[in-house]
């Protein structure tokens, strides 16, 4: 089920999702613990697919027929921590595809507070089946390329 107020929105080819920083997201000094940005960005990638019409359960079932026993894995990630976020901040997690290749998708992500970019990331997600990288199924490739146009 897609819930736009929770899942975010796609504007100008980029997915925007709001995240509030809670106490549990912070370290002893009251700033967001660095690893929690990974959780925020994972939610952004998941909701990006969902809002493009790819509920992960349905997508997995469809791709399972085309390529049995598959998973997505983060192959590589480059992060640049620019500024800290603090408890009660409202953050905007922005996600957009850069490239869709044979067995991987390259995504850019930013975590913003207003106009300030706090964290920048490039994430390469690989499509793996039976322990090996495999070509991304047509259904997923079409969804991601539609966002690149």
The catalytic site residues sit at 27
> What is the pairing mode between strands 90-100 and 70-81?
unpaired
Burial 64-79 (b: 16+ CB within 10 A, else e): eeebeebebeebeeee
Instruction: List the one residue out of 145, 113, 107, 111 whose CA is nearest residue 125.
Output: 107
Residue given tokens 């850069």 in the structure block: 98
């Amino acid at each position: 089920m897609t819930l736009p107020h929770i899942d975010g929105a796609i504007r100008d080819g980029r997915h925007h999702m709001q995240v509030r920083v809670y106490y549990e997201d912070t370290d002893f000094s009251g700033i967001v613990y660095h690893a929690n940005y990974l959780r925020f960005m994972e939610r952004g990638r998941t909701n990006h697919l969902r809002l493009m019409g790819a509920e992960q359960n349905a997508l997995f079932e469809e791709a399972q027929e085309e390529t049995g026993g598959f998973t997505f894995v983060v192959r590589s990630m480059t992060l640049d921590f620019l500024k800290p976020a603090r408890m009660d901040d409202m953050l905007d997690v922005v996600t957009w595809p850069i490239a869709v290749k044979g067995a991987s998708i390259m995504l850019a992500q930013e975590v913003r507070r207003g106009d300030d970019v706090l964290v920048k990331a490039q994430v390469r997600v690989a499509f793996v089946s039976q322990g090996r990288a495999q070509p991304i199924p047509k259904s997923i490739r079409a969804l991601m390329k539609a966002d690149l146009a």
